Amino acid sequence: MPAGPRPTGPKAFRRRLLAPVAVSVAVALALAGCSSSSSSSSSSPSSAPPSAQSAGTGSGSGTGQTSSAPTAQPGGPNQLQDAYQRVIANVLPSVVQITTGESLGSGIVYDDKGDIVTNAHVVGTATTFTVTLANSSTPLDASLVASYPDSDLAVIRLGSPPGGLKPAVFGDSGKVQLGQITLAMGSPLGLSSSVTQGIVSATGRTVSEPQGGGSPGATIGNMVQTSAAINPGNSGGALVNLDSQVIGINTLAATEPQSNGAAAPGIGFAIPASTITSIADQLIKQGKVTNSGRAALGVVARSSFNQQFQPAGAVVVSVTPGGAAAAAGLQAGDVITKLGDTPIDSLNALTTALASLTPGSKVTVTYTRDGTSRTADVTLGTLATP
């Protein structure tokens, strides 16, 4: 599954299937991405405990027409089942299967013009695709609008959008709550229009994807962790709440490194809706991202090692003129050892720490210069885009 620095909760992720990063529980994350499996149709929500309650978010913001589903109340399995089925009826028509070469992933209809948002690692290096809608078996041609691998997001566009295309409704990421019921929709292992259920297990995760499979690897902040099953082919699909709103794009699933990459059930990650809409809007309107929304220190750095060849920080190779680090007095040769309260023992750790912060944040940087430990208060800038 992951890229860049490592997750704040989990630690290493692997990719290409898409492979995972690792988690602190000695689990590796794998991208829930592409699969060469042939597709077949299936739509079967998992059952849930009768006592489960929904914690639906408020009205969503984003593209598409607003629809609502009843909030499940504790009172028996039928009410919860009815809620699941209504959400599936509302949202599943907006989830598509994307095929590129021998790889397969998922996507979400973003607008009625035929724009579809998905993961950059699903797109890879391809520029043309075959898309199959949830309510049709007819393959449709699509082409790349633009991709932004740093946030693992991309937009493709149908060449001839059919009538009745149903854009998804995107929710408010700030209202996603721990314990909220979620449904993951996509094409795991090529099984189109599949649905699994779970809850929001955590929010605010920072996850690093592995390189490969058409992705340079990305470190993504503020991800939603879910217990809904996410498998290869689910990448780019929708993570949905009981208000029929997309709260994330399914991106990573965990695997256990000590079990030859066997699945670690109940640990999946989704890029939050706020990131999706911000990046997708820019890709559609401008063909590129001009405001990444990601914090930057304004340095080029590499991992530093002590005399015992152990990781010992991130050494600054160069400082961007006029950047955040330059304004705070950091210089080439300084070794960053802490960002705020987070210890930094490598470039990967520095990248991960920055991914959890936002532009304009003020943070204390601890570093050594000429063998002396120092600190500097830095106001972070915005990560430049290509």
The catalytic residue positions are 121, 152, 235
Residue 44: C-alpha distances to residues 109, 228, 232 (Å): 21, 13, 17
* Token pair in block for residue 344: 């930094």
Q: Are the C-beta atoms of residues 119 and 33 closer than 8 Å to each other?
A: yes
What is the secondary structure of 233-295 as a DSSP string?
A: T-TT-EEE-TTS-EEEEEEEEEEEGGGTTEEEEEEEEEEEHHHHHHHHHHHHHHSS-S----E
* DSSP secondary structure, 74-122, as one string: SS-HHHHHHHHHHHHHHHGGGEEEEEETTEEEEEEE-STTSEEEE-HHH
The answer to whether the beta carbons of residues 12 and 257 sit under 8 Å apart is yes
Among residues 254, 196, 253, 201, which one has the least CA distance to residue 228?
196
* Residue 280 backbone phi and psi in degrees, to 5: -60, -45
Sequence letter at residue 204? G
Number of H helices, E strands in the chain: 5, 25
DSSP 341: T
Write the single-letter amino acid at 133.
Answer: L
Cis peptide before 18 (omega within 30 of 0): yes
User: In whole angstroms, what is the distance from residue 12 CA to residue 25 CA?
Assistant: 10
3-class SS at 353? helix
Q: What are phi and psi of 119, to 5 degrees?
A: -80, 145
Residue pair 375/365 in contact by the 8 Å Cβ criterion: yes
